[in-house]
A and B are shown apart, each in its own frame.
Chain A
Amino acid sequence: MKALQISSLKKTYANGTVALNGIDLTVQQGDFFALLGPNGAGKSTTIGIISSLVSKGEGQVSVFGHSLDTEMVAAKSCIGLVPQEFNFNQFETLLQIVVNQAGYYGVPRHIARQRAEKYLRQLDLWEKRNDRARELSGGMKRRLMIARALMHEPKMLILDEPTAGVDIEIRRSMWKFLTEINKQGITIILTTHYLEEAESLCRNIAIIDKGVIVENTSMKSLLAKLNVETFVLDLAADGPTPAIDGFEHRMIDDHTLEVDVAKESGLNPVFSQLSEQGIQVMSMRNKANRLEELFVRLVEDGRKAEVANG
Chain B
Amino acid sequence: MANRNLIALSTIWIKECTRFLRIWVQTLVPPAITMTLYFVIFGNLIGSRIGQMGGFSYMEFIVPGLIMMSVITNSYANVSSSFFSAKFQRNIEELLVSPVPTWVIIFGYVGGGVARAILIGIIVTLVSMLFVDVQIHNFAVLVFTLLLTATLFATAGLINGIFAKTFDDVSIVPTFVLTPLTYLGGVFYSLTLLPEFWQWVSKVNPIVYMVNGFRYGFLGVSDINYLTAMGLLVVFNAVLFSVAYVLLQRGTGIRS
B89 at the interface (CB under 8 A from A): yes
Residues of B within 8 A of A85 (CB): 90
In the complex, what distance in Å separates the CA atom of A88 from the CA atom of B94? Answer: 8
Cross-chain contact B255 with A96 (CB below 8 angstroms): no
Interface string of A82-97 (1 = CB under 8 A from B): 0101111111100010
Residues of A within 8 A of B49 (CB): none
In the complex, what distance in Å separates the CA atom of A148 from the CA atom of B7? Answer: 17
- Give B108 Cβ to nearest chain A Cβ, in Å: 10
Cross-chain contact A81 with B97 (CB below 8 angstroms): yes
- Give B5 Cβ to nearest chain A Cβ, in Å: 7
In the complex, what distance in Å separates the CA atom of A177 from the CA atom of B11? Answer: 29
How many chain B residues touch A (CB < 8 A): the figure is: 29
B90 nearest CB neighbor, chain A only: A87
A38 at the interface (CB under 8 A from B): no
Cross-chain contact B18 with A87 (CB below 8 angstroms): no
A104 nearest CB neighbor, chain B only: B98
- Give B78 Cβ to nearest chain A Cβ, in Å: 15
Cross-chain contact B255 with A55 (CB below 8 angstroms): yes
Given the known inter-chain contacts A55-B255, A91-B22, A96-B18, please indicate yes or no for A105 contacting B99, CB distance below 8 A.
yes
Of the residues A87, A103, A148, contact of B10 by C-beta under 8 Å: A103
- Give A71 Cβ to nearest chain B Cβ, in Å: 10
B137 at the interface (CB under 8 A from A): no
Cross-chain contact A13 with B96 (CB below 8 angstroms): no
A73 at the interface (CB under 8 A from B): yes
Residues of A within 8 A of B256 (CB): 13-14, 48, 53-55
Cross-chain contact A53 with B93 (CB below 8 angstroms): yes
B8 at the interface (CB under 8 A from A): yes
Interface string of B1-18 (1 = CB under 8 A from A): 101110110111001001
Given the known inter-chain contacts A72-B99, A87-B90, A100-B15, please indicate yes or no for A106 contacting B255, CB distance below 8 A.
no
Cross-chain contact B255 with A101 (CB below 8 angstroms): no
In the complex, what distance in Å separates the CA atom of A152 from the CA atom of B94? Answer: 12
| A interface, size bucket | 35 or more
Cross-chain contact A104 with B95 (CB below 8 angstroms): yes
B interface, over-half SS = helix
Of the residues A48, A91, A106, contact of B5 by C-beta under 8 Å: A106
A52 at the interface (CB under 8 A from B): yes
Interface string of B71-94 (1 = CB under 8 A from A): 000000000000001100111011
B100 at the interface (CB under 8 A from A): yes
Cross-chain contact B89 with A101 (CB below 8 angstroms): no
Residues of B within 8 A of A210 (CB): none
A178 at the interface (CB under 8 A from B): no
Residues of B within 8 A of A108 (CB): 7
Residues of B within 8 A of A48 (CB): 256
In the complex, what distance in Å separates the CA atom of A103 from the CA atom of B13? Answer: 11
Cross-chain contact A103 with B97 (CB below 8 angstroms): no
In the complex, what distance in Å separates the CA atom of A85 from the CA atom of B100? Answer: 22
A79 at the interface (CB under 8 A from B): yes
Given the known inter-chain contacts A55-B256, A100-B11, please indicate yes or no for A106 contacting B251, CB distance below 8 A.
no
In the complex, what distance in Å separates the CA atom of A55 from the CA atom of B19? Answer: 30
In the complex, what distance in Å separates the CA atom of A75 from the CA atom of B51? Answer: 66
A15 nearest CB neighbor, chain B only: B256
A107 at the interface (CB under 8 A from B): yes
- Give A162 Cβ to nearest chain B Cβ, in Å: 16
Cross-chain contact A105 with B4 (CB below 8 angstroms): yes
Residues of B within 8 A of A91 (CB): 19, 22
Residues of A within 8 A of B4 (CB): 105-106
Of the residues B3, B93, B98, B99, contact of A87 by C-beta under 8 Å: B93
Given the known inter-chain contacts A77-B99, A87-B89, please indicate yes or no for A104 contacting B255, CB distance below 8 A.
no
Residues of A within 8 A of B95 (CB): 104
A102 nearest CB neighbor, chain B only: B11
Cross-chain contact A54 with B255 (CB below 8 angstroms): yes
Cross-chain contact B93 with A103 (CB below 8 angstroms): no
Within 8 A of B (CB), among A182-202: none
Residues of B within 8 A of A96 (CB): 15, 18
Given the known inter-chain contacts A89-B86, A104-B11, please indicate yes or no for A52 contacting B91, CB distance below 8 A.
no
Beyond A76-B99, A79-B97, A106-B8, list 13 extra A-B contacts (CB 8 Å).
Answer: A51-B97, A76-B97, A85-B90, A87-B90, A87-B91, A91-B22, A103-B11, A103-B12, A104-B12, A104-B98, A104-B99, A104-B100, A105-B98
Where the two chains meet, the residues of A that have a C-beta atom closer than 8 Å to any C-beta of B are 13-14, 48, 51-55, 72-73, 76-77, 79, 81, 83, 85-92, 96, 100-101, 103-109, 148, 152
